[in-house]
Amino acid sequence: MKRLAWWLIGIAAIVGICVGLHEITSYSARAQQSATITVGSMGSDYEVWKHIAKSQDAKKMGLTIKVKQITDGVQLNKATADGNVDVNAFQSWSYYQTYNQQNPKAKLAALGTTYLEPMGIYSKKYQSVDEIPDGATIAIADNPSQASRGLLLLQKAGLIKLAANFGVLGSVKDITSNPRHLKFKQIDDTTGPRIIKSVDAVLISNTVALEGHLHVLRDSIFHESLNKSTRDNVNILATAAKNEHRASYLILTINKHIGCWMIIDKL
C-alpha cells in the first residue's frame, strides 16, 4: 500500500490539474450500462489504473476494469489496435501521433486526455543547466517522439536552438545552434536513471524517473511546465480507431472522478 501511495502522490504532486487537448461534449446513455474494459498500461500509469479499477467511482459507473501490463509502448499500441487491449493509458499525444504516422495499418484513436507527466533534465554532476560545460555529453532517447520532446526541452532550457519547422519526428539534425558544442548519446529511454552517472546530463520522462526513484520537482535541474508549448506531451487514453465513439470507453475520460483519481487521492 505504501508503494502504491508513493506512485499516486508522485504523479499527483506533479500534475496539479487535469488538462485536455479537446472536449468531449456528449456521450450515449449506453455508458450507464455495465461494461468490462481491459486497460493496458505500464510503469506508474499501471499502478494508477490498478487503483482506479478498484475504486468506488468505477463501480458506480458499472465498469469492470481489467488492467494488463505490457512494458513495450509499440507492442501495447499494436495490442490495442488488434483488440487484445480495449484502451491503453501510457503515452503522450506526440508519441501517439508518431505511432500513427509509422503504423498506418494499425492506427489508434485518442479518446481524451489525462495529465501531463513532465520530462526533466537530470544530472549527478551539475546543479543547474547553467553549469553544463562546453562539449558536455547529453543522453537522449533513441525513439523519435521522446527524442524530439527532449530536444524541445533543451531548447527551452536555452542550451540549443531548433529549426522553425521542428516537429514530432524532429531529431538532432534539426539543431540550428549549439553554442556549447553539446554531444548527444542515444539511449534506450528506459535506462536513463541507470546511466545518469556516466554522462553529464540525461533527459528522462516522468514515468521512467519514478521507476528509478527520481522526482522531477526535486531531482531534475530543469523540467517541462504546463503551457501551450507542452500540450503535445499531455498523456492520453487511446483505443482502436473503430472504437473511437464507443460510449463505455468514453466514460473513462468524461467522468471527472475517474479522470482525476490520482489528484483526488492526494487531496
Other C-beta atoms closer than 10 Å to the C-beta of 62 total 14
For 152-208, the pLDDT digits (tens) are 999 999 999 999 999 878 999 999 999 999 999 999 989 999 999 999 999 999 889
The per-residue pLDDT for 255 is 59
For 46-94, the pLDDT digits (tens) are 888 998 898 888 888 888 999 999 989 999 999 999 999 999 999 989 8
| CATH number corresponding to 120-224 | 3.40.190.10
| CATH number corresponding to 2-118+232-266 | 3.40.190.10
- Cα distance between residue 113 and residue 150, in whole Å: 21
Mean pLDDT of the chain: 83
Q: Is the dihedral of CA 252, 94, 97, 228 positive or negative?
A: positive
For 202-243, the pLDDT digits (tens) are 999 988 998 899 999 899 999 988 666 677 778 899 999 999
Count CA atoms within 13 Å of residue 139 on its CB side.
Answer: 24
What's the average model confidence in pLDDT over 136-147? 94
Where is average pLDDT lowest: 31-45, 109-123, 183-197, 208-222? 31-45
**Buried b vs exposed e over 172-188: b needs ≥16 C-beta within 10 Å?**
bebbeeeebebebeebe
The per-residue pLDDT for 256 is 54
- Cα distance between residue 242 and residue 107, in whole Å: 9
Domain ranges of the chain: 2-118+232-266, 120-224
β-strand partners of 184 = 138
The per-residue pLDDT for 233 is 78
Query: 2-118+232-266 and 120-224 share one CATH topology?
Result: yes
Cβ neighbourhood burial of 104 (10 Å; 0-12, 13-18, 19+): exposed
Question: What pTM was computed for the model?
Answer: 0.65
Q: Which residue would you say has higher pLDDT here, 139 or 93? A: 139
